[in-house]
Amino acid sequence: MKKRIPRRRRGTAKNNGLGTRSNERCLADRRLQETNAKPPAIGTAAATMEATSGGTDDHTTVEMDVTREETGRVVFESRGVCRIVAGEAAGGDLLTAELSGSLRHHRAEDPPVVGDWVTFSRREENRATILEVLPRRTVLGRKAAGGETRRQVLVANVDVVFVVMGLDNDFNLRRLERYLLMVRSGGAEPVVVLNKLDLAEDLAEQRMGSQEVAAGLAVVPVCALDGRGVVALESYLGPGVTAVFVGSSGAGKSTLVNRLAGREVMRTGAVRTSDERGRHTTTHRELISLPSGGLLIDTPGLRELEPWIEGDEALDQAFDEIAELSTSCRFRDCGHVSEPGCAVLEAVQTGVLDPARLEAFRRLGREIAAQERRRDEATRRKAERRQGAEYRRIIDGKKLNRGIN
Ligand SMILES: Nc1nc2c(ncn2[C@@H]2O[C@H](COP(=O)(O)OP(=O)(O)OP(=O)(O)O)[C@@H](O)[C@H]2O)c(=O)[nH]1
Ligand SMILES: [Mg+2]
Ligand SMILES: [Zn+2]
């Protein structure tokens, strides 16, 4: 069948409630909870196509258009394999999806991730082709691992990010700082989760340190093993809220997910006794729907974490006490290194500000600046390559014309 079939545009997707952001959340999440609902008649759709393929043009177009383009959400992604939950009103079935050729080409460096809303078309039963990734409301991204100068989005459209840190050997305020910076620059709300209460050596001190770094964010101590404090996390997970767990391997993300889900949905793994580090038990990202109506994404512990930040806003937010102090510095562009009248240095001297905080602020500031320079450089090289190709085309064109004349 070679007839051209009009594609349903995104406008149609809007009509089914996914176009607006506020609607997006409740509808989509309600749909995800419908995973147990009766799957739509995929077989019927295929049968319809077949039955009408020999019919009139109009008939074919109308019948096929109904099943042409649907909306869904990516709930699983591992090494290029995606699973989506169909978001059409009658749907909710789980489909294994691959990218359309054009998407694979255009979004090679920014493929769909868990939490993404996508449009797709069905192929055979339980299989789909993703056609388009809808605009993301929030992202969680880091600088791609290795030497590349680009952002790698880890998950999309999350409302809350639980940054999990163990109160055992995992406890590290400088790492927490980086995580919070990464979350803040993506638009979601970070919540600090201090896990392994049972192993805390100095809870009061660790809590205070975290609160300083969290600069106004919630800090929730919990014990995933016995469930202490976990109810405080539940309060963030109302119907329609998507939350994600991040943190180092072995911090207890999957154990927390299992506790909140009330059953074992994720495998967990003991930390190594030698250095108390995790074994990278979770290797994929997966979205799990909770009985409460909330949605949780478990993620693998990240080995390399260089936050991806655009603009300085996230840095100022993450270090808001420094941003606040610097409004009293004598110079507006004070670097807080040795300038006279520097309110930040004065705060360090009088013991109001932890020197480690200032050091972290400076280090991250330098990293961001270096990242921006590399990004500008990459953009410049890309533009040069494009221009070079353009010149070659013009020169080749001239040669060709000369040949013809
Ligand atoms: N003592 C104690 N152990 C815990 C607690 N929470 C989790 N654990 C243990 O820590 C180990 C690692 O837990 P996981 O949930 O697999 O850690 P993860 O963060 O998912 O790790 P990755 O999947 O590797 O990123 C397991 O042996 C858990 O039983 C806790 O509150 N207290
Ligand atoms: Mg895990
Ligand atoms: Zn200053």
Question: Of 133, 166, 200, which residue constitutes the final position of a domain?
Answer: 133
- Over residues 342-362, the mean pLDDT reads 93
Confidence of residue 368 (pLDDT cuts 50, 70, 90): confident
- Over residues 318-330, the mean pLDDT reads 91
Length of the chain in terms of residues written = 405
Pocket test for ligand 1, best of 167, 206, 222, 254 (most atoms within 8 A of CB): 254
pLDDT at 276 exceeding the cut of 60: yes
Q: Is residue 5 part of a domain?
A: no
Say if ligand 1 is within 6 A of residue 252 CB: yes
Q: Is residue 308 part of a domain?
A: no
At residue 361, φ and ψ (nearest 5 deg) are -60, -45
Count of alpha carbons within 13 Å of 242, Cβ hemisphere only? Answer: 32
pLDDT at 49 exceeding the cut of 70: no
For residues 150 and 278, state if they share a domain. Answer: yes
Q: Is residue 20 part of a domain?
A: yes
Ligand 1 atom with the smallest distance to the CA of 258 is 15
- Over residues 56-65, the mean pLDDT reads 41
- Over residues 332-344, the mean pLDDT reads 92
pLDDT at 17 exceeding the cut of 50: no
pLDDT at 66: 45
- Over residues 106-129, the mean pLDDT reads 91
For residues 111 and 220, state if they share a domain. Answer: no
Q: Is residue 2 part of a domain?
A: no
Confidence of residue 327 (pLDDT cuts 50, 70, 90): very high
For residues 136 and 219, the answer to whether their CB atoms sit within 8 Å is no
For residues 125 and 147, state if they share a domain. Answer: no
Residue with CA at minimum distance from ligand 1 atom 2: 196
Say if ligand 1 is within 6 A of residue 185 CB: no
Ligand 3: centre distance to CA 332 (Å): 8
The identity of residue 320, as a single letter, is D
Going by C-alpha positions, the residue among 232, 152, 227 that lies closest to residue 192 is 232
Q: Residue 173, exposed/middle/buried by CB under 10 A (0-12, 13-18, 19+)?
A: middle
Question: Of 86, 105, 133, which residue constitutes the final position of a domain?
Answer: 133
Q: Is residue 307 part of a domain?
A: no
Task: Give the least confident one: 37-41, 65-69, 120-124, 350-354.
Answer: 37-41
- Over residues 90-111, the mean pLDDT reads 84
Task: Give the least confident one: 59-63, 203-207, 387-391.
Answer: 59-63
In this structure, which ligand is nearest to the CA of 225? 1
**369 or 120, higher pLDDT:** 120
For residues 95 and 213, state if they share a domain. Answer: no
- For the chain, what is the mean pLDDT? 78
Say if ligand 1 is within 6 A of residue 173 CB: no
Task: Give the least confident one: 72-86, 204-218, 223-237, 382-396.
Answer: 382-396
**150 or 196, higher pLDDT:** 196
- Over residues 56-67, the mean pLDDT reads 43
For residues 237 and 171, state if they share a domain. Answer: yes
- Over residues 219-237, the mean pLDDT reads 95
For residues 394 and 321, state if they share a domain. Answer: yes
For residues 121 and 147, state if they share a domain. Answer: no
In this structure, which ligand is nearest to the CA of 270? 1
Q: Is residue 304 part of a domain?
A: no
Say if ligand 1 is within 6 A of residue 223 CB: yes
We report the CATH number of the domain holding residue 41 as 2.40.50.140
**401 or 207, higher pLDDT:** 207
For residues 118 and 223, state if they share a domain. Answer: no
Say if ligand 1 is within 6 A of residue 329 CB: no
Ligand 3: centre distance to CA 367 (Å): 19
Say if ligand 1 is within 6 A of residue 225 CB: yes
Say if ligand 1 is within 6 A of residue 115 CB: no
Task: Give the least confident one: 204-218, 226-240, 310-324, 389-403.
Answer: 389-403
pLDDT at 358: 93
- Over residues 71-99, the mean pLDDT reads 81
pLDDT at 303: 65
pLDDT at 96 exceeding the cut of 70: yes
Q: What does DSSP say about strands 139-143 and 70-78: parallel, antiparallel, or unpaired?
A: unpaired
Ligand 1: centre distance to CA 196 (Å): 8
Question: Of 113, 133, 153, which residue constitutes the final position of a domain?
Answer: 133
Residue with CA at minimum distance from ligand 1 atom 13: 252
Q: Is residue 69 part of a domain?
A: yes
Ligand 1 atom with the smallest distance to the CA of 196 is 31
CA atoms of 387 and 334, how far apart (whole Å): 40
For residues 146 and 218, state if they share a domain. Answer: yes
Host domain of residue 230: 139-298
For residues 105 and 35, state if they share a domain. Answer: yes
Q: Residue 372: CB partners within 8 Å, gap ≥ 6? A: none
- End-to-end alpha-carbon separation of the chain, Å? 45
pLDDT at 307: 64
We report the CATH number of the domain holding residue 193 as 3.40.50.300
pLDDT at 16: 27
Q: Residue 405: CB partners within 8 Å, gap ≥ 6? A: none
Ligand 1 atom with the smallest distance to the CA of 269 is 16
Instruction: Kindly report the three-state secondary structure assignment for every residue of the chain.
Output: CCCCCCCCCHHHHHHHHHCCHHHHHHHHHHHHHHHHCCCCCHHHHHHHHHHHCCCCHHHHHHHHHHCCCEEEEEEEEECCEEEEEECCCCCCCEEEEEECHHHHHHCCCCCCCECCEEEEEECCCCEEEEEEECCCCCEEEEECCCCCCCEEEEEECCCEEEEEEECCCCCCHHHHHHHHHHHHCCCCEEEEEEECHHHCCCHHHHHHHHHHHHCCCCEEECCCCCCCCHHHHHCCCCCCCEEEEECCCCCCHHHHHHHHHCCCCCCCCCCCCCCCCCCCCCCCEEEEECCCCCEEEECCCCCCCCECCCCCHHHHHHCHHHHHHHCCCCCCCCCCCCCCCCHHHHHHHCCCCCHHHHHHHHHHHHHHHHHHHHHHHHHHHHHHHHHHHHHHHHHHHHHHHHHHC
Pocket test for ligand 1, best of 179, 244, 264, 268 (most atoms within 8 A of CB): 268
Say if ligand 1 is within 6 A of residue 166 CB: no
Say if ligand 1 is within 6 A of residue 221 CB: no
Rounded percentage of the chain residues whose pLDDT exceeds 90: 39
Report pTM.
0.72
For residues 84 and 184, state if they share a domain. Answer: no
Q: Residue 28: CB partners within 8 Å, gap ≥ 6? A: 18, 73, 87, 117, 240
Ligand 3: centre distance to CA 318 (Å): 17
Confidence of residue 223 (pLDDT cuts 50, 70, 90): very high
Q: Is residue 305 part of a domain?
A: no
What is the sign of the dihedral through the CA atoms of 246, 251, 257 and 260? negative
For residues 149 and 264, state if they share a domain. Answer: yes
Say if ligand 1 is within 6 A of residue 268 CB: yes
Please tell me the total count of domains within the chain. Answer: 3
pLDDT at 219 exceeding the cut of 90: yes
pLDDT at 6 exceeding the cut of 60: no
We report the CATH number of the domain holding residue 331 as 1.10.40.50
